[in-house]
């Protein structure tokens, strides 16, 4: 089993394999920076499933359907690309769609000012709203490595009256817009898991189950996740929801 060698190269380090037969749970230590260490427990089954799908560069791959794959990796979504022509990154934007903080701010900085100009050109559906919560819009990527940006708006967790439905809509509509524009490769961040306050585990359930259901005609769906804690939650959830 390639479990041990794969884990040595991954961002998650195997911490303890002791008492495996007595208590089949592993503890992983994830080094957030030189000082902080976060420990998470995973069942033996979840670990073997996630790691048997992981390549040496820390990208875990799961089957979504006979023709689509889900790939989960840590990283900065502004640097992601597959071919620069049929690929898109998803921007967790706000309804105004003119930039903001978090990933939205990073994407606008990396794309250059042309992205904001293109966003201005997206018609408002009502004053100050270009992309209502749960919907998606597309623009070119300009200076980004990926060819397109799909802007979507996730729910504010504490405010939205049906946050799971709104979050699911954001993923589903992003994939629909991708398909309509012949995009074959789509990279998502963890929508709503920053400023909008969505709990990671609940968000991962909605994200992965929605993508599983709506991935038709998309060759690869990627998650590019900024922090170790979200990456670990996503890996665990994919192991549960996408048994290969």
Is 128 among the residues that bind ligand AR6 (CB under 6 A)? no
- The residue within the footprint of ligand AR6, chosen from 70, 191, 218, 238 (CB under 6 A), is 191
Is 142 among the residues that bind ligand AR6 (CB under 6 A)? no
- The residue within the footprint of ligand AR6, chosen from 30, 78, 205, 232 (CB under 6 A), is 78
How would you classify the pairing of strands 60-65 and 68-74?
antiparallel
Of 154, 110, 117, the C-alpha closest to 136 is 154
Question: In the complex with ligand AR6, which residue's Cβ is closer, 101 or 243?
Answer: 101
Is 224 among the residues that bind ligand AR6 (CB under 6 A)? yes
H-helix or E-strand spanning residue 38: strand 37-43
Min separation Cβ 233 and ligand AR6, Å: 10
Is 226 among the residues that bind ligand AR6 (CB under 6 A)? yes
In angstroms, the CA 30 to CA 11 distance is 7
Q: Torsions phi, psi of 185, nearest 5?
A: -130, 125
- The residue within the footprint of ligand AR6, chosen from 154, 177, 185, 208 (CB under 6 A), is 154
Question: In the complex with ligand AR6, which residue's Cβ is closer, 42 or 196?
Answer: 196
Is 208 among the residues that bind ligand AR6 (CB under 6 A)? no
Sequence-distant (≥ 6) Cβ neighbours of residue 230 within 8 angstroms? 190, 193, 200
Is 160 among the residues that bind ligand AR6 (CB under 6 A)? no
Is 193 among the residues that bind ligand AR6 (CB under 6 A)? yes
- The residue within the footprint of ligand AR6, chosen from 93, 146, 175, 178 (CB under 6 A), is 93
- The residue within the footprint of ligand AR6, chosen from 192, 205, 210, 232 (CB under 6 A), is 192
Neighbour-count burial for 144-172, b at 16+ CB within 10 Å, e otherwise: bebbbbbbbbbbbbeebeebbebbbbbbb
In the window 8-37, what residues touch ligand AR6 (CB under 6 A)? Answer: none
Q: Is the dihedral of CA 175, 178, 179, 183 positive or negative?
A: negative
Is 189 among the residues that bind ligand AR6 (CB under 6 A)? yes
Q: In the β-sheet with 25-31, what is the strand arrangement from edge to edge? A: 12-16, 25-31, 37-43
Is 104 among the residues that bind ligand AR6 (CB under 6 A)? yes
* DSSP letter, residue 179: H
- Among 53-61, 160-168, 204-212, 222-230, the segment contacting ligand AR6 (CB under 6 A): 222-230
């Amino acid at each position: 089993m390639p479990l041990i060698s794969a884990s040595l190269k991954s961002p998650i380090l195997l911490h303890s394999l002791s008492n495996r037969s007595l208590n089949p749970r592993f503890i992983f230590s994830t080094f957030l920076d030189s000082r902080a260490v976060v420990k998470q427990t995973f069942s033996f089954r979840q670990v073997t499933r996630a790691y048997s799908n992981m390549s040496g560069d820390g990208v875990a791959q799961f089957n979504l359907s006979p023709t689509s794959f889900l790939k989960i990796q840590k990283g900065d979504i502004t640097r992601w690309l597959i071919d620069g022509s049929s690929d898109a990154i998803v921007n967790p934007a706000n309804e105004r769609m003119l930039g903001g903080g978090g990933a939205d701010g990073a994407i606008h900085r990396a794309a250059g000012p042309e992205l904001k100009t293109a966003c201005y050109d997206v018609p408002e559906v009502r004053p100050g709203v270009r992309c209502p919560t749960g919907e998606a819009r597309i623009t070119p990527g300009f200076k980004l490595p990926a060819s397109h940006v799909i802007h979507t708006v996730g729910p504010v967790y504490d405010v939205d009256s049906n946050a799971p439905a709104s979050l699911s809509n954001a993923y589903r509509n992003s994939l629909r817009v991708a398909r309509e524009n012949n995009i074959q490769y789509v990279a998502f961040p963890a929508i709503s898991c920053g400023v909008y306050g969505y709990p990671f585990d609940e968000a991962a359930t909605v994200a992965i189950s929605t993508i599983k259901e709506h991935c038709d005609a998309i060759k690869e769906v990627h998650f590019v996740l900024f922090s170790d804690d979200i990456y670990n939650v996503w890996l665990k959830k994919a192991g549960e929801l996408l048994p290969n």
